[in-house]
Amino acid sequence: MSTTRQSRAAMAQATTDRLLAVAHRAFADEGFAAVSLDTLAERAGVTRGALHHHFTNKAGLFEAVLRRIDAEVAAEMVPAWEATPDHWQGFRDCFHVYLDAVLRPDRRRILFQDAPAVLGMKSVDILMESGFGETMSDLQGFIAQGRVRGPDAEALAHLVNGAIFAVAFWAAEGQPAEDRRSRAHSALSALFDGLTLP
């Protein structure tokens, strides 16, 4: 690849990254509906045409922000997995990290308020399918090792993914006085305790 092509690719990636960062902040602080494409382009220092070139429209940009958040959350879970030699404990810890990660103030509105309104069921699919294969594979291993009860790893993976998404959604809608985050963590621990074989 020529230096010119590399330079253009690097510039395009820098523009994409800048737009995603600006859009993430704007969607988190102001909400999808309140932010215009002109405002986003101005804040990112690009033309509206450049924004359309990279993301087609505002919904396309929003989906890209959602996918980037999903990738960031997945990366944040890795240290929990690596922190303990007990993989079942690491697996459990990953879901607690996930819960805290998606409930961060700069993510909560995007994931649980605007995403369903902007993308409909597609947003649920994006979040639920992310890492599903790894979750199922891990559960197959834990079942084979006699660490986890359950004859069907695929069904169990759907159950675990559905549970974490549902409890995160519930916690995101709560008021601070309700302390839903800690209650969600307690419920998640109870679910995993119920799956653990002695």
Q: Could you please report the per-residue DSSP string of the chain?
A: --HHHHHHHHHHHHHHHHHHHHHHHHHHHH-TTT--HHHHHHHHTS-HHHHHHHHSSHHHHHHHHHHHHHHHHHHHHHHHHHT-S-HHHHHHHHHHHHHHHHTSHHHHIIIIIIHHHHHTHHHHHHHHHTTHHHHHHHHHHHHHTTSB--S-HHHHHHHHHHHHHHHHHHHHTS-GGG-HHHHHHHHHHHHHHHHB--
Q: Which of 56, 73, 99 is the last residue of a domain?
A: 56
pLDDT exceeds cutoff 80 at 8? no
CA distance 145 to 20: 42
Q: Which of 56, 82, 101 is the last residue of a domain?
A: 56
Q: What is the CATH number of the domain that holds 6?
A: 1.10.10.60
Average pLDDT of the segment spanning 27-40: 95
- Considering the domain architecture, whether residues 48 and 74 belong to the same structural domain is answered as no
Residue 151: its pLDDT value, please?
Answer: 84
- Considering the domain architecture, whether residues 95 and 184 belong to the same structural domain is answered as yes
- Considering the domain architecture, whether residues 51 and 118 belong to the same structural domain is answered as no
Q: What is the CATH number of the domain that holds 84?
A: 1.10.357.10
The reported pTM is 0.90
- Considering the domain architecture, whether residues 69 and 52 belong to the same structural domain is answered as no
- Considering the domain architecture, whether residues 17 and 91 belong to the same structural domain is answered as no
Strand partners, 196: 148
- Considering the domain architecture, whether residues 87 and 168 belong to the same structural domain is answered as yes
- Considering the domain architecture, whether residues 104 and 170 belong to the same structural domain is answered as yes
- Considering the domain architecture, whether residues 48 and 21 belong to the same structural domain is answered as yes
Q: What is the domain count for the chain?
A: 2
CA distance 164 to 98: 8
121 CB-near residues (< 8 Å, 6+ apart): none
Q: Which of 56, 73, 90 is the last residue of a domain?
A: 56
CA distance 48 to 158: 41
Residues of the domain holding 75: 65-195
- Considering the domain architecture, whether residues 71 and 48 belong to the same structural domain is answered as no
- Considering the domain architecture, whether residues 146 and 176 belong to the same structural domain is answered as yes
Q: How confident is the model at residue 63 (pLDDT cuts 50, 70, 90)?
A: very high
Residue pLDDT, tens place only, 151-168: 899 999 999 999 999 999
- Considering the domain architecture, whether residues 43 and 84 belong to the same structural domain is answered as no
- Considering the domain architecture, whether residues 73 and 165 belong to the same structural domain is answered as yes
Residue 128: its pLDDT value, please?
Answer: 87
